[in-house]
């Protein structure tokens, strides 16, 4: 079965996220482990974790992904920010272990005025420090970014550069975001662009694979370098583009998570409906 879900809120208790996802008919989901706008975090209690694991098994909402905080910048030129980023990323991995979650999705960082080589070097060093402090069962999926100024992970070769030589088992794969990819010059609405992605994943990242797809339409045009998500079918990738992308064989079994704009649950329901329709059409359910 093709696993499909959305990013859900953990407001009111982490187990409630599973109920919210089930309500929407999700068979996979993504969460933040804490308030992603602040550096502060506190551990989820063992009893909360047990309740969460039990519920996600019972309601068959699996796999679950943690999206790590947007504040994390392993490449930061500021030492204090790098240190806080390392401890926050360690926390995300620790919570993933506690919750029985395999993958933590990460935007590794931004160069913020430094040259790329220095930014990548700092990121690699930070990853080594995360591993040095403790080892985890869960691991990181590096997400491709949209190619905005200072992005160090918008192409497969750039991600490969970060992953190369990383501590064994820490980076477990890639999360491919369709909006970011399209904005960064991967024309995934077109067969040629899909083949380019397939080729680059193999050529640069193997044995790492895409373990998750963030399915988002793009508000801005192809190669815009702008990270603005749009409802499925209403952006520049469009229904026909997603039909092509979702029929590509090499991506067929990878879980899909939507991070489309959300005013209320109605938006998620509508976007999920559109995707289910496309999956039926391309016989990938």
Residue ranges that bind Zn ion, judged by CB under 5 A = 143, 177, 214
Smaller CB distance to Zn ion: residue 18 or 256? 256
Q: What's the closest the beta carbon of residue 58 comes to Zn ion, in angstroms?
A: 28
| Residue 185: CB minimum distance to Zn ion, A | 17
Q: Which tokens sit at 9?
A: 């809120």
Distance (Å, whole) CA 186 – CA 209? 17
- Pick the closer one to Zn ion by CB: 28 or 49: 28
Alpha-helical (H) ranges within the chain are: 14-23, 46-58, 79-99, 116-133, 156-163, 178-183, 191-200, 238-247, 265-281
CA distance 78 to 73: 10
* Residue 158 CB, nearest approach to Zn ion (Å): 15
CA distances from 152 to 32, 122, 159 (A): 22, 11, 8
Tell the smallest beta-carbon distance from residue 220 to Zn ion (Å). 15
Q: How far is the CB of 67 from Zn ion (least distance, A)?
A: 6
What contacts 252, CB < 8 A, 6 or more positions away?
2, 284
Measured from the CB atom, the residue of 14 and 105 that comes closer to Zn ion is 105
- The residue whose Cβ lies closest to Zn ion is 214
Residue among 214 and 244 whose Cβ is closer to Zn ion: 214
53/224 with CB nearer Zn ion: 224
């Amino acid at each position: 079965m093709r696993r499909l879900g959305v990013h859900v809120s953990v407001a009111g208790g982490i187990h409630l996220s599973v109920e919210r996802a089930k309500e929407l008919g999700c068979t996979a989901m993504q969460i933040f482990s804490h308030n992603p706008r602040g550096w502060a975090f506190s551990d989820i209690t063992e009893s909360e974790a047990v309740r969460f694991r039990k519920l996600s098994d019972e309601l068959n909402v699996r796999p679950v992904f943690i999206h790590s905080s947007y504040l994390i910048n392993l490449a930061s030129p500021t030492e204090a920010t790098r240190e806080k980023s390392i401890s926050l990323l360690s926390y995300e991995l620790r919570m993933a272990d506690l919750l029985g979650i395999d993958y933590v999705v990460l935007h590794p960082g931004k160069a913020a005025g430094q040259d790329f080589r220095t930014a990548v070097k700092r990121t690699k060093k930070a990853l080594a420090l995360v591993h040095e402090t403790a080892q985890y069962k869960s691991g990181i999926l590096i997400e491709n970014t949209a190619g905005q100024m200072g992005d160090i992970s918008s192409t497969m070769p750039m991600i490969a550069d970060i992953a190369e030589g990383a501590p064994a088992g820490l980076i477990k794969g890639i999360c491919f975001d369709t909006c970011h990819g399209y904005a960064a010059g991967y024309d995934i609405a077109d067969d040629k662009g899909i083949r380019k992605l397939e080729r680059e994943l193999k050529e640069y990242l193997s044995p790492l694979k895409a373990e998750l797809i963030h399915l988002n339409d793009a508000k801005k045009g192809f190669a815009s370098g702008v990270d603005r998500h749009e409802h499925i079918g209403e952006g520049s990738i469009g229904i026909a583009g997603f039909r092509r992308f979702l029929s590509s064989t090499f991506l067929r079994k990878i879980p899909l998570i939507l991070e489309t704009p959300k005013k209320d649950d109605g938006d998620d329901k509508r976007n999920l409906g559109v995707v289910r329709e496309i999956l039926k059409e391309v016989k990938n359910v």
